[in-house]
Chains A and B, each alone.
Chain A
């Protein structure tokens, strides 16, 4: 049992030591601590997973009672079932590869110590999030993840733009988190507990499917999930979040952070099943996000921004899966996505690293022969991203599309939308490959990735291919999905569409049979692409709706309007003071007159009252 505690504790402790060393630790020691602790943690997860696979027993471990007030007594306790094991393996496994890669990538940075401290804290927070047995501890991990993303996105703090991106990431996700907190209050007030398993039991006995309360509660939880997983309408932080070092993006996009929302919905699926309306909303949000992000990805020219939009889009698929009730498929896609997205980001990092921090894909080109390992990584990663047959992404995305198809009424619509997304994914992912790695070279690489960078890339390449054949131990976690016999033509279409995307990308960006310039010559087309390039102008919209009004109000009130009230009192008493001062003028005749007048008045009153 003790090894379970070690899993989050090792990264946490190493983060604490790295912080307390205040940057005075030698680079070798810092990187050893940073990557080593995650490696050991991954080892513990592997041991735990193998024993779990052997006996299939759910493990629970209580460390201490966090607080106890009346009936409310959340604990610091872990609940480990198949879903947790899957998430822990992804977090520590992929996390370790990213850490290993980071050693080489960040070696020349003056703040290596701070970097590994934040990274380890990030992994620790994410582990707490998935291991928590109650929603309050989950919320601790949830917010911890948010903090670490803020710290890492703004890691190079000297550039104010990075700071802005970091604050955006934190504040936008916090808006979702606040909705989630309200959901927690609602659940606690109505069901009397925040422990996840008892909570789902209580919900099932107290609530009927379709009641208002479960819909409201899950809608609030969904708010949190939408924020963290960068789904509509709170997705705007993710494209900017690439301001941090590239391995950070890999960690955010693959192993931590954005998968949290998917995990939350899967973990509390019992509540969502009671709220069909919310579940349907999840599916539509997923579909809308995956399409909007795919179109936006098509128009980008920053290598990391393309990948960022592709993440938003792929998580849209996971939401689609959750929304149609295919929870296991959603988690399956989460896992395969973690493999190929980590691969793609690390490969992109290698490109940027070897090309003097160049981000623009149109200033790259011809890197196929110059950076062969990176090229292979990109081809495999993009193939998996586009869900070409026999890659890992194919199996998981195919399962999602089939599950969508099987749904009554709205199913075919969701399926068709998902298919359109798959086509777009094929185009934008191979557009990237063809432009960066083929054609003429525009920038020469000045170095080759060393083994610490190449090793993780090769391993992730293997995982991106064979990842689809891994059987996840999710049996018994979710209710068994009803399997519908699916028409073979539907399956063939699902296989064919990504290939069509690849073909279109080839014709447009390599073969030249379709001229992109001609396509864009129409003014409408140009405007549309600009619109996509700006991410559908969401940033401008939010700026107008929220940011500017808030700043304007703050500016308007900055000098304390309430003080006007008290200044008014001050002015009134000063006015009275001046008026009364007239009476006190020091002239005897004035005093005598007043005295006589007063006496006359007094006498008059007395005479009037006399009987």
Chain B
């Protein structure tokens, strides 16, 4: 099913591209239908899985641990196969991917006039790449999908982006590509290092058993870490993000912030830490430090921006710092928080980028100094912006709060000082979020300006995302239940090395 799902998205991309010949509005309907079909396919197949499977602890490396598993031979000479596996974590992220895929289409409904077919095709191919990343268990295959999601996104920015699109697209490509090559190197080292009598293998389960330790382990781990942290993005590898987000068309920003960033977090959680428990533990203080720096630095720079989209982009840098912290604190509270942050940030930031796109579409500017008092002309947009601004500053009742609270609560047990430093992010987030509201929606309105408020299409997308965030904030348990078995399988792998973490941290803290 998993291979079919990815193929469906890839083929639909080709169809959407060709559909342009018949009508300029047909391609977007192709996308909508394809994504809905993929969702339907996923749900139909889930129905076939007995309910108790969802609560079974799934230990990584055991095929029966996956909710769905499939393997087809591909390049047997090098031990490469089309190996897919889905557990609660992949399922959750897949749902997020498809859901935000729909949001991306809706948000750019009538924005694209140039080659709408190719635009939709790139959108679908990106989704296919991301779905592949979340499902692939063979590391060679994983790398392939890592590239598949990169190139269509590059094209989205380079062709349909705003005024500085060439620079932004190139920067995005080089950052991701260089770090991806480091990861490829690490993957190859890993495969050859674990080669046994049956030859080499790229399979996750085999590599888990044979990962190198010591200095070699640290170097190999860093290859993965850099690739994933560039994508996340973590400080100081984040500088591609503000440019890429700002220049990308709305749908591109929604996909980038909503799901592409999450592949970095997913990679850390699925591969980087479990493959190298010891090296990860030694490296954890550095990773957490980068997380804290990212939170504070991103928040300060967000406040410094006058470009609406750039502000939201920097807020992503800040919020992803919490993910890095949660992952390396490595206990169930913090990990659940990190996963929740992936989902909640995906939704809230997608909504804010959609807002930015809607503003640019109406006002032909992203400069907040040229906005102000928009609440008067567009109260519905103002109310939506207010909702997502307070969601992003972590107001209780929304998913983002649950995420940040759990990350910090889990982190406190590991390092109170890091927690105190990271908690500064709660204050700085309020500073930039409210400043954004002031600049764009409050203040003196320009009475000569005509601006249409949100219509039914945009309002319904917004209401759905609001409902999701409130649901995650007030009853997050289904999400935790889905991912708890995955974490229970992963946690013991690391429990021994990670138990040394508080001691290690106390040596570096004041």
Which A residues are closer than 8 A to B by beta carbons? 19, 22-23, 64-70, 72, 76, 136, 139-140, 142-144, 147, 150-151, 154, 157-160, 163, 166-167, 170-171, 174-175, 177-178, 181-182, 184-186, 188-189, 550, 553-555, 557-558, 560, 562-563, 565-566
Contact = CB atoms under 8 A, between A and B. Distances in A.
A317 B315 CA distance: 41
Closest 8 CB pairs of A and B: A558-B304, A140-B396, A185-B412, A554-B304, A157-B442, A167-B434, A163-B442, A163-B438
B383 interface: yes
A554 B305 CA distance: 9
Among A19, A22, A76, A163, max chain B CB count under 10 A is at: A163
Nearest to B331: A70
A19 B408 CA distance: 32
A553 B396 CA distance: 29
Interface of B: 235-236, 238-239, 242, 297, 300-301, 303-305, 332-333, 336, 373, 375-376, 379-380, 383, 386, 390, 395-397, 401-402, 405-406, 408-409, 412-413, 416, 419-420, 423-424, 426-427, 430-431, 434-435, 438, 441-445, 474-477, 480, 484
A605 to B, nearest CB: 31
A142 B397 CA distance: 11
Given A171-B434, A182-B423, A550 B442 contact: no
B333 A147 contact: no
Given A182-B419, A554-B303, A560 B239 contact: yes
Contact of A171 (B375, B430, B441): B430
Given A19-B383, A181-B426, A557 B301 contact: yes
B477 A65 contact: yes
User: Interface centre among B304, B336, B416, B444, by most A CB within 10 Å?
Assistant: B304
Contacts of A186: 412, 416
Contacts of A566: 239
Contacts, number: 130
A158 B444 contact: yes
Given A170-B434, A178-B424, A554-B304, A67 B332 contact: no
A474 B442 CA distance: 44
Contacts of A174: 426-427, 430
Given A67-B477, A140-B397, A560 B301 contact: yes
B495 to A, nearest CB: 13
Nearest to A181: B423
Nearest to B396: A140
Contacts of A562: 235-236, 238-239
Nearest to A562: B236
A46 B432 CA distance: 42
Contacts of B474: 66, 76
Nearest to A564: B239
Contact of B442 (A19, A139, A160): A160
B300 A554 contact: yes
Contacts of A188: 409, 412
The DSSP consensus for interface residues of chain A is helix
Contact of A178 (B386, B406, B426, B445): B426
Contacts of B430: 170-171, 174
Contacts of B376: 158
B347 to A, nearest CB: 18
A594 to B, nearest CB: 31
Q: Summarize B's interface: helix, strand, loop or mixed.
A: helix
A68 B477 contact: yes
A160 B438 contact: yes
A249 B375 CA distance: 23
B445 A158 contact: yes
Nearest to B442: A157
A181 B408 contact: yes
Contacts of B423: 178, 181-182
Contacts of A185: 408-409, 412, 416, 419
A189 B476 CA distance: 21
A189 B413 contact: yes
Nearest to B333: A69
B397 A144 contact: yes
A22 B379 contact: yes
B477 A143 contact: no
A151 B395 CA distance: 14
Contact of A160 (B380, B406, B431, B443): B443
A157 B373 CA distance: 8
A7 to B, nearest CB: 18
A79 B496 CA distance: 40
Nearest to A114: B379
Given A70-B332, A188-B412, A64 B443 contact: no
A339 to B, nearest CB: 30
Contacts of B238: 562
Nearest to A137: B396
Contacts of B332: 69-70
A206 to B, nearest CB: 16
A581 B405 CA distance: 56
Given A175-B427, A550-B300, A565-B236, A167 B438 contact: yes
A143 B426 CA distance: 12
A170 B413 CA distance: 29
A66 B333 contact: no
A167 B236 contact: no
19 contacts: A22-B383, A23-B379, A67-B476, A69-B484, A70-B332, A72-B333, A76-B474, A136-B396, A140-B396, A140-B397, A144-B396, A150-B434, A159-B444, A166-B434, A550-B431, A553-B300, A554-B301, A554-B303, A560-B301
A22 B382 CA distance: 11
Given A144-B395, A555-B304, A558-B301, A182 B405 contact: no
A160 B438 CA distance: 8
A66 to B, nearest CB: 7
Given A19-B383, A70-B333, A174-B427, A182 B420 contact: yes
Contacts of B383: 19, 22
A336 B431 CA distance: 36
A53 to B, nearest CB: 32
Contacts of B413: 189
Given A70-B332, A158-B445, A189-B412, A178 B397 contact: no
A134 to B, nearest CB: 12
B396 A67 contact: no
A68 B480 contact: yes
A458 to B, nearest CB: 37
B236 A557 contact: no
Contacts of A160: 438, 442-444
Given A171-B427, A185-B412, 5 more contacts: A65-B477, A178-B427, A181-B423, A185-B419, A189-B412
B239 A147 contact: no
Contact of B480 (A69, A157, A184): A69
- Of the listed residues A67, A166, A181, the one surrounded by the most CB atoms of chain B closer than 10 A to its CB is A67
Contacts of A555: 304
Contacts of A560: 239, 242, 301
